[in-house]
């Protein structure tokens, strides 16, 4: 059996089970499609469960805020609240309300929603090849402990984050770092036994001062000097986003980024070493951390951008900062352009007046394929636009739309024949927020 290739067929195959992919699979399953969800990890959620513990992008920055993502995202939040505390809190950087959850609870929530939608999950399966021709993807091949599996479908959704399916199928994309800078990588970590009262009493400006002072002393290697820590639903535990590692490099005349296995392996190892240095800084210099201990590293490094597919439309910086609306938009984003560039700080540019930009359906359509949609951080956007619209809530909105569209396209196998007006109506009927007028005012932050 080791030399044979197993075959699985479905109406819709979704590659990647992060916030975009899990949402796409749930939406397509609820719409009646036979869905196979392929995931490299042993659990669903991607970055939402393997790296982070907070959803950003549900709300616009400012006061009052507006809620701009609903639909399947709301179902996820309801599932989390049924399992334990969920904390709504102001974002450390002022990017809008963050919703902090227990990542292990979220694994179960994603699984329950997918199972209830009739989705078949294939875990521990890593895509490494695809069969395509004439603008159509016919199959993807994944590696498992039993050998190769070929998964065939009428419609595919690439929600891998890294556009892995598109890469192996010969679908065009921009390699982040090759034409413009690529955002950095981050290994997150959690601390326990933190004296939260003392920590909270120390303002963020003071933490930044302490970081800079520690780095200037020469006693600490802190490449980033404005990272964040925040409370979690677990008493005495904080979570951090502090480390910073380069995501690409030039080898001779070739640029490689975090899709390169050698670079990614080196950064995973380096990220944990760097995290330990920030742990030492917190314990030595920050009030409330004197008796704290490391609880865990993220199970994988956090990747912000690697490949961005060329779609029928490419969202850009001017669209975001101009709060542009589109006739075919399937979701909204109010998040600022949040560029985790190399260096000690992060660049922020806000949409004027607390506005929102629309996410066109066309950005989910790879220009080189008829039966493929993309959703999540590999969607069709420039570096700057992706730095705004890559938040997990927007990934859920894109996934929700891509899943419904995929189910609709099963009958004819062409994602461009989907009735976009009907798709937008379906999204609104399912609680999604599609246009500016759908957004609701949200006052304050609550647990």
Domain membership flag for residue 1:
no
> Are residues 83 and 154 located together in one domain of the fold?
yes
Residues 236 and 353 in one domain: no
Residues 214 and 322 placed together within one structural domain of the fold: no
- pLDDT (0 to 100) of residue 90: 78
- Mean pLDDT taken over the chain: 94
216/218 Cα distance (integer angstroms): 5
Same domain, 312 and 164: yes
Same domain flag for 162 and 195: no
| 424 lies in some domain | yes
Q: Establish if 447 belongs to a structural domain.
A: no
Question: In terms of C-beta density within 10 A (0-12 exposed, 13-18 middle, 19 or more buried), how is residue 444 classed?
Answer: exposed
Does the pLDDT at position 215 exceed 70?
yes
Task: Give the DSSP letter string of 251-309.
Answer: ETTEEEETTSHHHHHHHHHHHHHHHHHHHHHHHHHSTT-TT-EEEEE-SS-B---SEEE
CA-wise closest residue to 310 among 234, 256, 369, 390: 369
* Domain termination site, one of 248, 268, 297: 297
Which domain does 194 fall in, by range? Answer: 189-297
**Burial status of residue 435 (CB atoms within 10 A of its CB: 0-12, 13-18, 19 or more):** middle
**pLDDT tens digits, residue range 397-421?**
999 999 999 999 999 999 999 999 9
CA–CA gap between residue 188 and residue 196 (Å, rounded): 19
Residue 354 burial (CB count, 10 A): 16
Last residue of a domain, one of 273, 297, 321: 297
Same domain, 220 and 161: no
Q: Are residues 289 and 330 in the same domain?
A: no
Average pLDDT over residues 295-316: 98
Residue pLDDT, tens place only, 325-375: 999 999 999 999 988 888 778 888 999 988 999 999 999 999 999 999 999
Q: Domain count of the chain?
A: 2
Average confidence (pLDDT) over 304-325: 97
Instruction: Name the band, by pLDDT with cuts 50, 70 and 90, for residue 447.
Output: very low
Provide the pLDDT confidence category of residue 70 given band limits of 50, 70 and 90: very high
DSSP assignment letter at 79: H
Tell me the two tokens of residue 46. Answer: 């991607």
**266 and 159 in a common domain:** no
At 76, is the secondary structure helix, strand, or coil?
Answer: helix
pLDDT band at 180 (very low <50, low <70, confident <90, very high): confident
Residue 376 lies in a domain: yes
pLDDT at residue 92, as a whole number: 56
CATH number at residue 25: 3.50.50.60
Q: Is residue 407 part of a domain?
A: yes
Instruction: Give the total residue count for the chain.
Output: 447
| Same-domain status, 75 and 211 | no
Per-residue pLDDT for 313 more than 70? yes
Say if residue 293 is in the same domain as residue 430: no
If one compares 1 and 226, the residue with the highest pLDDT of the two is 226
Asked if pLDDT for residue 57 goes beyond 80, the answer is: yes
Task: Tell me the mean pLDDT in the region 290-296.
Answer: 98
pLDDT band at 243 (very low <50, low <70, confident <90, very high): very high
pLDDT score, position 1 = 40
């Amino acid at each position: 059996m080791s030399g044979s290739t197993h075959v699985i067929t479905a109406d819709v195959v979704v590659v990647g089970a992060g916030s975009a992919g899990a949402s796409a699979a749930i939406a397509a399953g609820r719409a009646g499609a036979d869905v196979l969800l392929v995931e490299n990890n042993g659990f669903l959620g991607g970055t939402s469960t393997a790296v982070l513990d907070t959803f950003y992008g549900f709300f616009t920055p400012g006061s009052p805020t507006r809620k701009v993502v609903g639909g399947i995202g709301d179902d996820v939040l309801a599932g989390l609240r049924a399992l334990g505390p969920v904390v709504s809190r102001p974002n450390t950087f002022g990017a809008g309300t963050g919703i902090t959850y227990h990542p292990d609870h979220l694994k179960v929530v994603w699984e329950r929603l997918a199972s209830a939608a009739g989705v078949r999950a294939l875990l521990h399966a890593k895509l490494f090849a695809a069969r395509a021709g004439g603008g159509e993807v016919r199959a993807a091949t994944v590696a498992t402990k039993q050998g190769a599996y070929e998964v065939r479908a009428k419609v595919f959704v690439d929600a891998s984050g890294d556009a892995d399916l598109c890469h192996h199928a010969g679908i065009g994309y921009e390699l982040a770092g090759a034409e413009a800078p690529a955002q950095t990588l981050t290994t997150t970590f959690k601390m326990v036994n933190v004296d939260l009262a003392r920590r909270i009493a120390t303002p963020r400006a003071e933490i930044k001062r302490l970081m800079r002072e520690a780095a200037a002393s020469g006693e600490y290697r802190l490449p980033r000097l404005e990272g964040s820590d925040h409370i979690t639903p677990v008493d005495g535990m904080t979570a951090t986003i502090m480390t910073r590692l380069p995501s690409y490099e030039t080898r001779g005349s070739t640029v490689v980024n975090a899709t390169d296995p050698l670079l990614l392996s080196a950064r995973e190892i380096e990220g944990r070493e760097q995290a330990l240095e920030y742990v030492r800084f917190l314990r030595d210099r920050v009030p409330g951390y004197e008796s704290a201990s490391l609880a865990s590293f993220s199970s994988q490094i956090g990747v912000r951008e690697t490949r961005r597919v060329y779609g029928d439309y490419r969202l850009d910086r001017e669209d975001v900062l101009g709060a542009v609306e589109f006739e075919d938009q399937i979701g909204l984003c109010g998040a600022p352009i949040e560029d985790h560039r190399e260096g000690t700080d992060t660049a922020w540019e806000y949409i004027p007046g607390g506005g929102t930009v629309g996410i066109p359906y066309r950005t989910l359509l790879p220009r080189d394929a008829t039966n493929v949609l993309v959703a999540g951080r590999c969607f069709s956007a420039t570096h700057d636009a992706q730095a705004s619209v890559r938040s997990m809530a927007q990934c859920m909105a894109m996934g929700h739309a891509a899943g419904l569209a995929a189910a609709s396209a099963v009958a004819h196998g062409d994602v461009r024949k989907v009735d976009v007006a009907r798709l937008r109506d379906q999204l609104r009927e399912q609680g999604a927020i599609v246009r500016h007028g759908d957004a609701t005012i949200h006052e304050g932050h609550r647990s």
